[in-house]
Amino acid sequence: VSAPTLGPELATRLRALVRQLDPDADAEAVVAELARRLPAAAVPSLSPDLLSVVVRHHALDRLPLLDEALFSLACSEHRPLEIVLASQAPEPGARERLDALLARHVALAGDAVEGRLVHAPSGRDERGRLANLGAAAARGRYLAFLDDDDVVYPGHHAGLVAALRGGEAAWAIGRARRVDVATAPGGGLHVRAKAPWPPADPFTLPRIARDNHVPVHAFVLDRERLRGLRVAFSETLPRQEDYALLLRIAAVFRPAIVAGPPTCEYRFRDDGSNTTPVAGAPLAARLARAWTWSATAEPIARERDAVQALASMAELAALDAPAATAGARDELRYRLADRLNAAVKRLPGVHALLKATLAKRG
């Protein structure tokens, strides 16, 4: 079955999903119909060796934090590098100050480093939109994100891109360090402690995806290889928008895991402004949350994202299957079938085919 719209990875995952729901189902037919009906993903023109790092920034009172983030990028070993500063700072004069700060660090970085500012002033928290605006402006085949309060070590991006170039994976994940920081007198940061993140091995996809131990700056995406997947953050989620994207990607693409020493820092500040990490929760609750997060992808291609979210749920269910009881597994299967049914209702041909193929579910 040719599934050019879906891409081979997503097609494979969906076949697995349908077969998980009903081993006798005609998975090939369902996937072929989906491929025919779903809207194609827009593929931007990408610069082949360029790494674009989208830096999200929110307000001018965070300039000291942003300064450190940009300094860490200026000393990154990866070249060529494009720093896309996506800021929503609404204060008067913000554009000029951000331009000046960015220019200073680009000058420090030297050759083969460019900077561009995407300024979308807003008084609301626009974290998802900022990431999307930055990604749309980014020209690199390789794409990474960095929040304005986090930092990377110099070999971080170079190591992840090397892992991508050395294999077939569409994205690569590195290990982060959790850093607890206090606000020092005068507004600076004072590091209280550093620790491995996650706290203990194994550093494997099921573990780190399930427990959300992958901060947004811990991975690099190869957009050439992600053509079947639209890189879009939810613009409606107040938090966990990065986790939602992570789940969608993880559902379809197996990453290269670079499990060496930590190469970036995820800073937890004492002002409570960080996203709270997800603790171990019951399987059903986790899947419900995964659905909510990963299915939320405004504003376009809702059906496509819903299908990807379903694959995400199926993957998480499969990862947890050994630990689940038979009853829980059945409940999950029914839940998945209902979600899939709802997701493709707007695609009449697919819906009919799906109903027929899952008729035996009872």
Q: Which residues bind other proteins (CB under 8 A)?
A: 68, 71-72, 74-75, 104, 107-108, 110, 151-155, 182, 184-185, 188-195, 261, 265
- Tell me which amino acid residue 164 is: L
The stretches of the chain forming alpha helices (DSSP H) are 8-21, 27-37, 63-74, 94-109, 127-137, 156-165, 205-210, 241-252, 283-295, 302-320, 326-343, 348-357
The DSSP string of 285-311 is: HHHHHHHHHHH---SS-HHHHHHHHHH
Closest among 173, 88, 90, 163 to 131, alpha carbons compared:
88
Q: Which is nearer to other proteins, 182 or 281 (CB)?
A: 182
Q: Which is nearer to other proteins, 80 or 154 (CB)?
A: 154
Q: Which is nearer to other proteins, 46 or 71 (CB)?
A: 71
Q: Which is nearer to other proteins, 104 or 302 (CB)?
A: 104
- Least CB distance to other proteins at residue 186 (A): 8
- Least CB distance to other proteins at residue 185 (A): 5
- Least CB distance to other proteins at residue 77 (A): 10
Closest among 253, 262, 251 to 215, alpha carbons compared:
262
Q: Which is nearer to other proteins, 186 or 327 (CB)?
A: 186
- Least CB distance to other proteins at residue 264 (A): 9
Give 152's contacts (C-beta < 8 A, 6+ positions apart): 72, 73, 76, 146, 217, 263, 264, 265
- Least CB distance to other proteins at residue 154 (A): 6
- Least CB distance to other proteins at residue 198 (A): 16
Q: Which is nearer to other proteins, 105 or 248 (CB)?
A: 105
- Least CB distance to other proteins at residue 262 (A): 9
Q: Which is nearer to other proteins, 167 or 188 (CB)?
A: 188
User: Could you tell me the sign of the dihedral formed by the alpha carbons of 34, 341, 345, 358, in that order?
Assistant: positive
Q: Terminal CA-to-CA distance of the chain, rounded, Å?
A: 28
Distance CA 337, CA 310 (A): 9
Cβ atoms < 10 Å from Cβ of 188: 12
- Contact call for residues 256 and 170 (beta carbons, < 8 A): no
